[in-house]
């Protein structure tokens, strides 16, 4: 699975094959860990927007977890831990109205492209 950040801060996921399955043949959950580096003057506004994103994303059918975290020693950094039922749920999230509105709004408030990592469980 490759994740590509583009100049407009959007993200593209490229999967080289089917998402891993457990030994029992069950498609495993998809986990995402994203890091946002806010412009210092925009951090408070981005935090408010991310709380709204968290609330809206948790209502999505395939969302199992959506948690926004802030390191105690880096006030301009936010981490987002997401868990989805499957890749279809991730794709549904990426076209949800609240996600699209957020992506457009946040683009000029970040100091760097969002760093996104797709994670899978070891078992």
Here the CATH number for the domain that contains residue 54 is 3.30.70.100
pLDDT tens digits, residue range 4-14? 444 444 454 44
Backbone angles phi, psi at 101, to 5 degrees: -65, -40
Range(s) of the domain holding residue 115? 2-6+28-119
CA nearest 89: which of 19, 4, 41?
19
Rounded CA gap, 52 and 72, in Å?
Answer: 21
Q: Using an 8 Å Cβ cutoff, are 69 and 119 in contact?
A: no
Q: How many domains does the chain have?
A: 1
> What length is written for the chain?
123
Residue 113 is assigned to a structural domain of this protein: yes
Residue 16 is assigned to a structural domain of this protein: no
Per mean pLDDT, which range of 21-25, 97-101, 103-107 is the poorest?
Answer: 21-25
Residue 20 is assigned to a structural domain of this protein: no
Looking at the chain, the whole-number percentage of residues with pLDDT higher than 70 is 77
Residue 17 is assigned to a structural domain of this protein: no
Q: Mean of the pLDDT values across residues 32-50?
A: 98
Rounded CA gap, 55 and 47, in Å?
Answer: 12
Residue 87 is assigned to a structural domain of this protein: yes
Which of the two residues, 71 and 29, has the higher pLDDT score? 71
Tell me whether residue 81 is exposed, middle or buried, using C-beta atoms within 10 angstroms of its C-beta: 0 to 12, 13 to 18, 19 or more: middle
Rounded CA gap, 62 and 87, in Å?
Answer: 9
pLDDT at 25: 54
Q: Mean of the pLDDT values across residues 101-117?
A: 96
pLDDT at 20: 54
The pTM of this model reads 0.78
Residue 21 is assigned to a structural domain of this protein: no
């Amino acid at each position: 699975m490759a994740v590509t950040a583009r100049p407009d801060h959007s993200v593209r996921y490229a999967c080289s094959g089917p998402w891993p399955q457990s030994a029992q043949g069950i498609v495993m959950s998809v986990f995402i860990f994203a890091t946002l580096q806010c412009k210092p003057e925009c951090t408070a506004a981005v935090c408010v927007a991310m709380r709204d994103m968290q609330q809206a994303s948790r209502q999505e059918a395939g969302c199992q977890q959506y948690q926004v975290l802030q390191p105690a020693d880096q006030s301009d950094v936010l981490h987002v831990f997401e868990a989805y039922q499957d890749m279809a749920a991730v794709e549904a999230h990426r076209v949800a109205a609240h996600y699209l509105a957020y992506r457009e709004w946040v683009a000029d408030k970040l100091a760097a492209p969002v760093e996104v990592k797709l994670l899978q469980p070891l078992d």
